[in-house]
Amino acid sequence: MGGVGKTTLAKLAYNDVRLEGHFDFKAWVCVSEEFDVIKITKTILDSIAGHIGDVNDLNMLQVKLKEKLLRKKFLFVLDDIWTENPSDWSLLRYPFEVGSPESKIIITTRNEVISTMMGTLPAYSLKELSDEACLRIFTQYALGTTDFSLHEHLKEIGEKIVKKCNGLPLAAEILGGLLRGKPNSNAWGGVLNSRVWDLPEEKSNILPALRVSYFFLPSHLKRCFAYCSVFPKDYEFLKEEIILLWMAEGLLQNNKKQMEDLGNEFFHDLKSSVGF
């Protein structure tokens, strides 16, 4: 399921301090729907060898990668894989085979067929969290604590909101961020009783919690968030870059604040409200 924590768990493993010095090379690639062998290979090469320029010849890229990986121990993460075509994986893995047998590749996917096709070990299947665990995440983001000891009047509403998360930590995080700084029953009740929850998920492929968080954004943040749809999925951008683009599009109009300061404020508001 989307939002169950596959990428988060992979990041914990990838960044574990106990791995420092254990591998010669590490690389992380966001693969997503399009399994582009050239793009993935270039991303790995950029990570382990520095920027390689505008080379787009797969054979040349794979030769360079083989040279770097020869008898080296590496850890690669291929995040969010969708392709079920075994030939895609066979083509990509060709340079990996010259590395040390102690090398590791972690993949994340929603599809068990893919994990079987690519894996040499049994898949680790994540399950939904308990309501209790989701509640701790939700309150941490909403109230800055893991319980309702200082906000007893919100406990019942909070527990009902968390049940709508269906055990997904991402949903609990997003909804908690949406209600951060709003410790009042009206705001929490508005989220709980929103009609947006009733929209069928299968028609939009969007988590209900994400739809709700967008619905409650103020109009100025909705415009800035919607502008980001011009970027492809998993595109990495700098905060300063997106703020300049917002400025160029006239999305940061305010007579009392500098546009750069306003952009920083909008960015952080989006980060806490919709997992920006």
Q: What is the CATH number of the domain that holds 143?
A: 1.10.8
pLDDT at 219 over 80: yes
pLDDT at 195 over 80: no
234-246 tens-digit pLDDT: 788 889 999 999 9
pTM assigned to the model: 0.75
59, 154: one domain: no
60, 105: one domain: yes
Question: Which range of residues forms the domain containing residue 134?
Answer: 129-201
**For residues 99-128, average pLDDT:** 90
**For residues 162-189, average pLDDT:** 88
110, 143: one domain: no
Number of domains in the chain: 3
57-67 tens-digit pLDDT: 999 999 999 99
pLDDT > 70: what percent of the chain? 95
Q: Is 206 among the domain residues?
A: no
Residue 225 main-chain phi, psi, to 5 deg: -65, -45
Cα radius of gyration rounded to whole Å, the chain: 22
C-alpha separations of 65 from 48, 104, 119 in Å: 9, 16, 21
Q: Over the range 141-168, which residues count as b (16 or more CB within 10 Å of their CB) and which as e?
A: bbbeeeebeebeebeebbbebbebbbbb
Q: Is 1 among the domain residues?
A: no
Of 181, 177, 229, the C-alpha closest to 206 is 229
Q: Is 124 among the domain residues?
A: no
19, 61: one domain: yes
- The residue ranking higher by pLDDT, 130 or 199, is 130
State the number of CA atoms in the 13 A half-sphere of 151 facing the CB.
22
Q: Domain boundary residue among 118, 145, 165?
A: 118
How many angstroms separate the CA atoms of 170 and 186, rounded? 23
Q: Domain boundary residue among 62, 90, 118?
A: 118
Q: Domain boundary residue among 148, 172, 201?
A: 201
Cβ atoms of residues 274 and 225 within 8 Å? yes
**For residues 196-204, average pLDDT:** 62
pLDDT value, residue 166: 87
**For residues 138-144, average pLDDT:** 92
pLDDT value, residue 153: 92
Q: Is 211 among the domain residues?
A: no
pLDDT value, residue 276: 59
Under the banding of pLDDT at 50, 70 and 90, the label for residue 201 is low
How many angstroms separate the CA atoms of 172 and 139, rounded? 9
When the pLDDT of each residue in the chain is averaged and rounded to a whole number, the result is 88
pLDDT value, residue 94: 92
pLDDT at 37 over 70: yes
Cβ atoms of residues 190 and 216 within 8 Å? yes
16-33 tens-digit pLDDT: 999 999 999 999 999 988
11, 90: one domain: yes
Q: Is 245 among the domain residues?
A: yes
Q: What is the CATH number of the domain that holds 104?
A: 3.30.370
**For residues 143-165, average pLDDT:** 91
Q: Is 263 among the domain residues?
A: yes
Q: Strands (DSSP E) along 110-252, which ranges?
A: none
Cβ atoms of residues 105 and 68 within 8 Å? no
**For residues 94-105, average pLDDT:** 94
Cβ atoms of residues 178 and 192 within 8 Å? no
pLDDT value, residue 69: 95
pLDDT at 118 over 60: yes
Q: Is 243 among the domain residues?
A: yes
